[in-house]
Structure 1
Amino acid sequence: MLLKKQTVWLLTMLSLVIVLSVYYITSEPQSQTKNDFASTTEKAKEKAGSKENPTATSEDGKTTVTETASGEGFESLRLKLTDTRNQQIEEYEIQAGSADLPAIKKSEALDKIAELTEIGRKEEILEALLKQTMGYEDALVRADGDHVRVTVKTKEKHSAKAANEIIQLVRSEIGSMKITAVEFKPAK
Structure 2
Amino acid sequence: MLLKKQTVWLLTMLSLVVVLSVYYITSPEPNQGNLATVDEQEEQTVTEEQKETTESQDGETVISGVASDEQFEALRLNLEDQRSEMKEEYQEIVASTDLPVEQRNDAYEKMKELDSVSQKESVLETLIKTMGYEDALVRADGEKVRVTVKAKEHSAAEANEIIQMVRNELGSLQAVAVTFQPEK
Aligned counterpart, 2:74? 76
**In structure 1, what is the equivalent of residue 119 of structure 2?**
121
Describe how 1:129-140 pairs up with structure 2 within 5 A.
129-132=127-130, 134-140=131-137
Give every structure 1 segment of 4 or more consecutive aligned residues whose post-TM-superposition deviation is greater than 6 Å.
none
Check whether the contact 1:148–1:181 (CA below 8 A) recurs between aligned residues. yes
Inter-partner Cα distance in structure 2 for 1:186 and 1:85: 28
Does residue 149 of structure 2 align to residue 152 of structure 1? Answer: yes
Q: Is the 8 A contact 2:166 2:176 kept in 1?
A: no
Structure 1 window deviating more from structure 2 (18-27 vs 173-182): it is 18-27
- Distance change in 2, residues 1:164/1:147 (3 Å): same
Q: How does 1:9-158 map to 2 (within 5 A)?
A: 9-13=21-25, 18-19=29-30, 22=33, 27-28=38-39, 73-132=71-130, 134-156=131-153, 158=154
Structure 1 letter corresponding to 2:128: L
How far residue 8 of structure 1 moved from its aligned partner, in angstroms, is 3.1
Q: Do residues 163 (structure 1) and 159 (structure 2) align?
A: yes
Q: Matched residue of 1:120: which SS?
A: helix
List runs of 5+ in structure 2 lacking aligned partners: 1-12, 44-68
Letter in 2 for 1:147: K
Deviations 1:129-169 (CA, angstroms, capped at 9, x unpaired): 1011x11111100000111100111111x211110000011
Aligned-pair distance for 1:179?
3.0
Q: What is the match of residue 182 of structure 2?
A: 186
Q: Distance in 2 between the 1:2 and 1:179 partners?
A: 40
Unpaired stretches in structure 1, ≥5 consecutive residues? 32-70
Contact 1:140 1:150 in 2 (8 A): yes
Aligned residue pair count: 146
Q: Is the 8 A contact 2:124 2:138 kept in 1?
A: yes
Aligned equivalent of 2:54: none
Code of the aligned partner of 2:144: H
Whether contact under 8 Å (2:163, 2:177) holds in the other structure is no
> Does 1:8 find its partner at 2:20?
yes
Query: Partner of 1:148: helix, strand, or coil?
Result: strand
Partner of 1:18: helix, strand, or coil?
coil
Q: For 2:106 and 2:77, how far apart are their aligned partners in 1?
A: 26
Find the aligned partners of 1:144 and 1:113 in 2 and give their Cα distance: 14
Kindly tell me: are residues 120 and 96 of structure 1, through their superposed partners in 2, closer, same or farther at Cα, counting changes over 3 Å? same
Query: Relative to 1, partners in 2 of residues 1:75 and 1:85: Cα closer, same or farther, differing over 3 Å?
Result: same
Query: Distance in 2 between the 1:27 and 1:177 partners?
Result: 37
Q: Offset at 1:180?
A: 3.5
